[in-house]
Structure 1
Amino acid sequence: MRKVLLLTIGMFALGFDAYVVAGLLPDIGAMFKISASQTGQAVSVFTLCYALAAPVFATLLAGKPVRRILVLALAVFSVGNGASALASSYSLLLMARAVAGIGAGLYSPLAAAAAASLVSKQKRGRALGITLGGMSMGTVIGVPLGLIIAEHLGWHGTLWLITALGLIAMIGIVLWFPNFPASAPPSLRQRVAMMTNGRVSATVGITFMTSIASLGLYTYIATILHNLQDINIITPYLWAWGIGGVVGSFSIGTLIDRTGRPDLLMAGILAIMAFAMFSLPLGLKFPMLAFLPFVIWGAMGWASQAPQQHELLRLQPNHGAVAVALNSSANYLGSAIGSALGGTVMLAGLAPSQLPYAAGCLVLVTLLGQLVIVSCKGEQEKEKLNND
């Protein structure tokens, strides 16, 4: 597990970068004199490039030494963040965020697959939970810290800190991570079969829909809080969301290992997430309850990844890295679409205060899809028992 913990350092930097930008959007918008819906695209371009990079590079670099690829990914990630800090125009910032997204898209799925390879099958869920926990720790510790730094040094200072963390993670992997080859790249026929496999497509589709709702909504937290209750200090709410994320990330792995039913756990996660989103506007009216929906939402959002990865690794045991990359791609493609969609509907006239309800409805639709998957899996298991 010590080698797995080493991977979490890089995941911490990725989580810090992916989620602190939402809190920096008001400052970025003020500097470049652009609207909230426009600044939201700084999140979209990062997550879109992340989504596109994950499956492409997982295939191209499969079979290469894992350590070398992880180091390359963190180098690209760090360069992208350094360029973001130096950006003198919004266009340059978007290009730099794209580079950082490519580095993150290369690192994250490979780190998850490597973590699963380093432990026994019985501990796989825990290893995935710990790895994703590093990313959630980046939100609970990094995001508030980044916003505090931004108050004193500007948003550029926060991005320089992320750059330094990426370089530290890169050095740690060079010095202490074992050098073993990734799984052999699948053939073109196997790749197509993976994409057309009904169970794989359904699992990835649930991840995609969940991300549109959860991460898309997260992008506009600052705008939503200001619109609902005229709240301008958003750090405590991001902190609450991140704390929930840590709890969800580190506890879900144990639940997967104990129950052996990641599909049922995913259904429960979606039901609780929908409840949290619907209760968010109401909770903000009561100081004692204001942070609870954020904690629950964060916990369920972060907990949703490990069951999906675990299921894909079971469905595609010989090509785990590619399957996890596909899921990671769906997650961040959903985030990019959610961010863009949120900006679009606000431009069309939807009040930011209505975004939590819209996201909650989308989660309920996703829950119905997950229940269909659970039902089909149950029928297949019954048929297998009858045939045996």
Structure 2
Amino acid sequence: MRQILLLTIGMFTLGFDAYVIARLLPDIGKTLRISASQTGQAVSVFTLCYALAAPIFATLLSGKSIRRILVWALAVFSLGNGASAIASSFSMLLIARAVAGIGAGLYSPLAATAASLVSKKKRGRALGMMLGGMSTGTVVGVPLGLIIAEHLDWHATLWFITVLGLVAMFGIMIWFPSFPASSPPSLRQRVAMIANGRIAAIISITFLTSTASLGLYTYTASILQNVADIQFITPYLWAWGIGGVVGSFSIGALIDRTGRPDILMTGILATMAFAMFSLPFGLKLPSLSYLPFILWGAMGWASQTPQQHALLQLHPNHGAASVALNSSANYLGSAVGSALFGFAMLAGLTPSQLPFAAGCLVLVTLLGQWGIISSNKKYRKYAKRKNNHLDL
């Protein structure tokens, strides 16, 4: 399990880095003398490169040693974070975040190879540890990073992430076994999945959900300061992260119990919209100020599992590839959302209005999800009629 622990440290570092930057944006903006909407693009470029790196490099590096790829991925990731820490201009910061995103996007999907290091009975636990590492990086790492930034500065937080990445890199270099990466799906298979209307619909819902949820998360600090003049944002990040842990761990049991991931996704989107619309009002009521963040975090983290479950049901022969495509849509949505809300503020929207804009986008997504449910009902009726005809 030592190898699994090393991979988990890497996933913790990725989760830490992916989410802490959004909380450091005000400090970064002051140092580089740029606006909040500009600093938000640092999140966009990281998540965009994160989303695109995996499918591109998975093809180029097929057959190469997993250990070597993981080491290079963490080296690139650490280099990007070190460069981010010493960035003296906005353009340098964007380039550095792009490099870090490429390393993260290459590492994350390959870390799933840990499942082959343990017996089948323990593979679920191994994968759970790694996914838990990323969520823990959000719940524990982000507040820790903010504490470091408060006592030192934001540069120190990025240096800390760099050191964690190097620790995982050297550990994998020394103790991780060497075996080749499996071949990725062919280009024809990827195109066929995207061309499938039902798969495209599910992935589109994932993209829009991430655009609203993770895009809004980028500007949480600005929202808190603008709505209620809240400078100490760590408790609200804890509320969002704790909600995320509860949501991500509980949704699986609900799916197993109901067998209807599409219905559950509808409830998730409706609750997420409610949380976003109520957020500006809740911040003005001390007794309710954390509730929207808990609900938002829970629904945001829970939203991926029903989508993955639906894709595995729909495309069991290439389930891994379709789930990977869904993951790319998630991070691409995060990048687009960060950029979209940044441009919205440049156009005159205030941070306090961003939750309403995000809530409206979730409502549009909810309409799309209802369309999927309607389509699924028609498909089940058609399949039932076809089976009855075959029985006759």
TM-score by length of 1: 0.90
Q: 1:263 to 1:168 in 2, by over 3 A?
A: farther
Q: Which one-letter code corresponds to 2:137 in the other structure?
A: G
* Aligned residue in 1 for 2:22: 22
CA contact (8 A) 2:67 2:173 kept: yes
The CA RMSD measured in Å over matched residues stands at 2.7
Deviation at 1:97, TM superposition (A): 0.5
SS in structure 1 of the partner of residue 34 of structure 2: coil
Deviations 1:75-100 (A, max 9, x none): 22122112211223222111111000
| Alignment map for 1:324-335 (pairs within 5 Å) | 324-335=323-334
CA 96–17 in structure 1, closer or farther in 2 if over 3 Å, else same: same
Cα pair 1:129 1:250 within 8 Å, conserved: no
CA distance in 1, matches of 2:67, 2:320: 14
| C-alpha separation in 2, matches of 1:371 and 1:150 | 44
Unaligned runs of 5+ in 1: none
Report the counterpart of residue 147 of structure 1 in structure 2.
146
**2:41 is aligned with 1:47:** no
Query: 1:136-169 deviations in whole A, cap 9, x for unaligned?
Result: 2111111111011011221111011111222233
* Deviation for aligned residue 1:3: 7.0
Q: Is the 8 A contact 1:129 1:252 kept in 2?
A: no
Map 1:288-303 → 2, pairs under 5 A: 288-303=287-302
After TM superposition, the structure 1 stretch with the greater mean CA deviation from structure 2, 239-248 or 306-315, is 306-315
Which structure would you say has the larger Rg? 2
1:127-276 paired onto structure 2 within 5 Å: 131-174=130-173, 181-276=180-275
Which residue identity is paired with 1:364?
L
Contact 1:44 1:336 in 2 (8 A): yes
How far did residue 31 of structure 1 move?
0.7
Q: TM-score, normalised by structure 2?
A: 0.89
2:72 paired residue number: 72
Q: Could you list the per-position Cα deviations for residues 172-196 of structure 1 after superposition, in whole angstroms to 9, with x for gaps in the alignment? A: 4455656555443323322211221
Q: Which moved more, 1:87-96 or 1:65-74?
A: 65-74
Aligned residue in 2 for 1:32: 32
Shift of 1:230: 1.1
User: In the alignment, which residue of structure 2 is the partner of 1:345?
Assistant: 344
Q: Distance in 2 between matches of 1:311 and 1:112?
A: 20
- Amino acid paired to 1:78: S
- Residues 256/79 of structure 1: CA separation in 2 closer, same or farther (3 Å cut): farther
Q: Which runs of 5+ in 2 are unaligned?
A: 388-392
Q: Tell me the percent identity.
A: 75
Aligned 8 A contact 2:59 2:183 in 1: no
**DSSP 3-state at the match of 1:40:** helix
In 1: Cα distance, 2:6 partner to 2:310 partner: 24
